[in-house]
Amino acid sequence: MAERSFASEVKKLTAGEGETFTGEGILAVTKALLQSGVAYVGGYQGSPISHLMDVFADASDLLESLGVHFEASASEASAAAMLAASVNYPLRGAVAWKSVVGTNVASDALSNVASGGVTGGAVIIVGEDYGEGSSIMQERTHAFAMKSQMWLLDPRPNLPSIVDSVEHSFRLSEASNTPVMLQLRVRSCHMTGSFTAKDNIRPPLTVGEAAAMPRRDVDRIVLPPANFLHEVEKIEKRWPAGIAYVRDNRLNEWFGPEKVDAGVGIIVQGGLYNNLNRAMERLELADEYGTSKLPIYCLNVTYPLIPEEVADFCRDKRAVLVVEEGQPEFIEHELNTLIRRAGLDTRIAGKDILPRSGEYSAKVIADGLADFLKDLAPGMAPEKETAVPIPAEVASQIPGRPAGLCTGCPERPVFTAMKLVERQLGPTHVSADIGCHLFSILPPFNLGNTTMGYGLGGAGASAFKPKDDNGKRAIAIMGDGGFWHNGLTSGVGNAVFNKDDTVTVIIDNGYSAATGGQDILSSRAKNKRRTTNNPITAAVKGVGAKWVREITRTYDIPKMRDTLLEAMTGKEKGPRVIVAQSECMLNRQRREKKQTAAALKAGKRVVRDRFGVDADTCTGDHSCVRLSGCPSLTIKSNPDPLRQDPVAHVENSCVGCGVCGEVSHAAVLCPSFFRTRIVSNPTRGEKLRARIGRTLIQRMQRSSEKRLAARAF
């Protein structure tokens, strides 16, 4: 159950020649693949291309009708290895994942396919998750393209350019026998626009037909002596062919006048073009349609650069500003080399003016461009920026909003239990992992010493050995998505093989939740196209783990705490594995809210649990908040004028998971929490009981008020 269904939108993918296609960038990419005659598609979900994988899944019927094979890969490495189908066969294939972490995982397969080369077009669609909105380390895909000598396209963020880039990527790959990487930024994936569609093309050769006619070329296999010849082929054949295709098909673009009297220009990555144009609007150097007062060379292909084009653009210019996001400044370095080889004296400005790191928003580019012009073209420098910035005093009042677990998240009680165990045993080393559970490193839990990668929580704890039988064991956290990605072998299998005395907590919430709620092997949902309901405990025991405990309701904090204590203090040697199960609350709510809405519309009886805090009982200690961190559990002013401390309060966003009450019980806190049941469309009997109850309470209140009034006199 993905966080969003594209079942209705995928109908647009059948649009034919001349029709106008309107939709999101990810839909446009899928349509472009079908128009290109793609034979197979694979990938692994991750921002910002998770929805791209969801579109593929929802369009499975259409893909099958065209003879296109789609596979939701077990990891990015699995997806990259699919490109082996294009090595010996004229099959066009595309794979997708989140970069750069996904490209890290896929790098072994990518190196091999880039070395041996391809016959059919091979396209890697990478979601470049860079900038302040990123959830990963700040690195660039560009380095991988350079390392393995694969071509990298970074198209302008508009649907026609993106669709053209997909189609050209296949042709470029085939013309140069080289895999091509197509980089899509967050905004490109989710922007909306339109383009003129073409007919979908059934692949001339399907994967089934290719399998029936096996081909073998030992020179394509990365094995001595062929691998030594691959490097020569890259330089002497593939590189010139790639350069020629990009140049002859004018994949890069020119905007604005050919030259200006000031002798300056701008070279920009294609994916940053919209931000640059917005920056120039603010400086009154362009309009919203892209009419520029400065010459612009837009690199829709950022690797390789085309020497002739670079020389032609820079020949009559004293200085050029390179707008290149991230570091190292690969493009800037290469431009300096090409300029000198061409015998030009054009100054290449870039990271000496623009920030060396961070996202290049329109504001950042505008500031850098203004400084560039003031220094090198004073006559064109803007007097002022037309946009009004947010006043510093207002910006300082905007509260920070750190990432956190959702209301009712089943992972929250796991970390509450860990904090309770910490109170008894003291702090221990916690090896964190990628996924929602990584939010445990932030307040209020403050757990987690390191994180090494998706599914590597167990491996990250493997170096820590207790000094003696009474020594502390390290705790490794792993999600079910990371477990199936690689944690089964790198974490649990490794711990069993090496007899590691660690505790691994596998949080099984039923989905690959952090990437949008896609089904995985252990999902309890029934998926007609995938095999699910494969228990994690069976896999763990299958690789030899002996001490395995399964908790089927993580909200049972006392049981969670006691199981952790048993794992941490037991005398048995070897790894201990706890599988903590409860469905992702976000996915559960997506399903149940629809069911509830339908039931309410039909006039059916609906019951909802809701928790609250008795303000008269609450002491204002707030231990419940520190041990929960639920967004619905907050504080409010104390209604008692004689008490100063604010009291705990449960907002109406409460989903009734019960963690706050469980925390109070397990941690022996004040008994101020209560549970109430909200009944919609109650029965006649319930209405009658409610009226009788209200009447009795009112009478008792009036009687109490009379007694108090009598005592006052």
CA distance readout (Å), 382 to 256, 263, 286, 297, 370? 17, 16, 12, 21, 7
Q: What is the pLDDT of residues 504-530, one digit of tens each?
A: 999 999 988 888 888 889 998 888 888
Place of tokens 């380095």: 143
d(CA 176, CA 558): 62
SS3 507: strand
Token reading at 304: 């390789």
198: left (phi over 0), alpha (psi -120 to 50) or beta: beta
d(CA 297, CA 270): 9
At 400 the pLDDT is 66
Q: What is the CA radius of gyration of the chain?
A: 30
d(CA 66, CA 644): 70
Residue-by-residue DSSP string for 601-662: HTT--EEEEEEEE-TTT--S--HHHHTT--TTEEEE--S-TT--SPEEEE-TT-----HHHH
15-203+215-248 and 605-681 have identical folds: no
CA quadruple 257, 258, 261, 264: dihedral, nearest 10: 100
- Report the half-sphere exposure of 221 (CA within 13 A, side-chain side): 6
CA distance readout (Å), 352 to 326, 332, 345, 348, 369? 13, 11, 17, 10, 12
Look at residues 406, 417, 415 and name the one whose alpha carbon lies nearest to residue 513: 406
| 289-317-262 Cα angle (round to 5) | 70
At 712 the pLDDT is 66
For the chain, the domains span 15-203+215-248, 253-386, 412-587, 605-681, 684-713
Q: For residue 710, give the H/E element and its range.
A: helix 684-712
At 597 the pLDDT is 92
Q: What is the pLDDT of residues 648-699, one digit of tens each?
A: 899 888 888 888 888 887 877 778 888 888 899 999 898 899 899 899 989 8
Beta bridge partners of 96: 43, 125
d(CA 595, CA 586): 14
At 642 the pLDDT is 80
d(CA 321, CA 220): 41
d(CA 286, CA 268): 15
For residue 143, count CB atoms less than 10 angstroms from its CB and return exposed for 0-12, middle for 13-18, buried for 19 or more: middle
CATH topology of domain 15-203+215-248: Rossmann fold (3.40.50)
d(CA 699, CA 256): 82
Number of helical (H) and strand (E) elements in the chain, helices listed first: 27, 24
SS3 171: helix
598: left (phi over 0), alpha (psi -120 to 50) or beta: alpha
- Does domain 605-681 match CATH 3.30.70.20? yes
d(CA 662, CA 685): 31
- Does domain 412-587 match CATH 3.30.540.10? no
Specify the CATH number of the domain 253-386.
3.40.50.920
pTM reported for the whole predicted model? 0.90
d(CA 420, CA 662): 12
Please check whether residue 477 is in contact with residue 433, taking contact to mean a CB–CB distance below 8 angstroms.
Answer: yes
d(CA 346, CA 322): 12
Regions of the chain short of the pLDDT cut 50:
387
d(CA 660, CA 336): 61
Report percent pLDDT > 70 for the chain. 96
Please check whether residue 182 is in contact with residue 125, taking contact to mean a CB–CB distance below 8 angstroms.
Answer: yes
At 401 the pLDDT is 65
Q: What is the pLDDT of residues 406-427, one digit of tens each?
A: 999 999 999 999 999 999 999 9
Beta bridge partners of 93: 40, 122
Helix axes 239-248, 307-314, angle to 10 degrees: 50
SS (H, E, C) 16-45: CCCCEEEEEHHHHHHHHHHHCCCCEEEECC
